[in-house]
Amino acid sequence: MSSEHGGSTEERLPGREGGSRRRGPRRASIVVRYGEREYERDLVRCRRELLQREMEGTFGSVPELARKAGLSRSTVSAFFRGDRPGTRATVARILRELGLSFDDVHRDIARERRA
């Protein structure tokens, strides 16, 4: 659906010129698989650390984090949304910039099932 000015009339996030469409609630976690193991990734913790690093001035935005990690903005954004699991190497680069380790944000699902 288009407005009379040719732009989309879909709902936009308040206060964001040209912002992205609202997609519903954010995922709290996703399940990722590396090799034979499955892990639950805590996306809330990842987003919290992103905000903390922005407040500290480590970087000012997702694009700046992406540049520091040597990744594309879309790859980093997809990581925080939980749209793609990412390779171990990609995840390690993002987590390193956030000051986190793999184990800080991943829970081994199989280990809990065995316990």
In a domain, 43, yes or no: yes
Backbone angles phi, psi at 90, to 5 degrees: -65, -45
Domain count across the chain: 1
Q: What is the pLDDT of residue 110?
A: 83
pLDDT value, residue 9 = 38
Which residues does residue 40 pair with via DSSP β-bridges, in sequence order? Answer: 31, 107
pLDDT at 22: 60
pLDDT for the residue numbered 15: 44
Query: Do the domain assignments include residue 4?
Result: no
Q: Residue 82: which CATH number? A: 1.10.260.40
Residue with structure tokens 């903390």? 52
Instruction: Note whether residue 41 is domain-resident.
Output: yes
- Residue ranges in the chain whose pLDDT is less than 70: 1-23, 112-115
In a domain, residue 68? The reply is: yes
Residue 5 in any domain: the answer is: no
Q: Which residue has the tokens 């993002």?
A: 94
Domain membership flag for residue 77? yes
Q: Give domain status of residue 90, yes or no.
A: yes
Evaluate whether residue 17 is within a structural domain. Answer: no
Domain that holds residue 49: 29-114
**Residue in this structure with the two tokens 């081994």, named with its chain if needed:** 108
Single-letter amino acid code for the residue at 5: H
